[in-house]
Amino acid sequence: MGTTLRTVTVALAAMALPAAATSTAAAETAADGDWTASYGTARAAGTSWTEPGTIFVRPLVIKGELENTGSDCYSAWIEFTQDLTPGLPAKNATQCGPGTTLVDYRLALPSVRTVSIKICRGSTDMADCGPVTWF
């Protein structure tokens, strides 16, 4: 009877793996695609994707440009949330005055997460920001 129970347990575990892998793959690609965010005289746009990794961690890459047409400084802030717990926001790019600068962010993150970007006036904090763009 012990051998039968072990065989059934192994068989059930093997059947559960493809379902778990499918749901993880869907979550991992949730951040893949184009994104845009804007506030005041600044606009950021780009693309994001996940790179190959392990079943638990895959590098997230966010690339784009932050463009400002006004005289103030604007910054792009990126934040991820894992299991409803927000991570620390990271300022990735700042453009003071008219011009364009690159948004270039790469971080190995847990497979199930959400990521957001927002544009804020200034270069030191997130006190004056536009709406959050989730991806």
Higher pLDDT among residues 107 and 27, named by residue: 107
Nearest to 124 by CA among 65, 73, 66, 71: 73
Task: List the single range of 63-67, 97-101, 111-115 with lowest mean pLDDT.
Answer: 111-115
Identify which of 22-26, 78-82, 128-132 has the greatest average pLDDT.
128-132
**Global pTM?**
0.74
Q: Residue 75 pLDDT > 60, yes or no?
A: yes
pLDDT of residue 4: 42
Residue 33 pairs in a beta bridge with: 48
Q: Which residues contact 116 (CB under 8 A, 6 or more apart)?
A: 78, 79, 80, 81, 132, 133, 134, 135
pLDDT of residue 112: 61
SS (H, E, C) the chain: CHHHHHHHHHHHHHHHHHHHHHHHHHHHCCCCEEEEEEECCEEEEEEEEECCCCCCEEEEEEEEEEEECCCCEEEEEEEEEECCEECCCEEEEEEECCEEEEEEEEEEEECCCEEEEEEEECCCCCCCECCCEEC
Q: Span 31-134: which CATH code?
A: 2.60.40.1470
Range 106-135 average pLDDT: 90
pLDDT of residue 10: 35
Confidence of residue 11 (pLDDT cuts 50, 70, 90): very low
pLDDT of residue 114: 84
Residue-wise pLDDT tens digits, 78-89: 998 887 788 889
* Planar angle of CA 109, 22, 134, nearest 5 degrees: 45
Q: Residue 38 pLDDT > 70, yes or no?
A: yes
The domain ranges of the chain are 31-134
Range 96-100 average pLDDT: 98
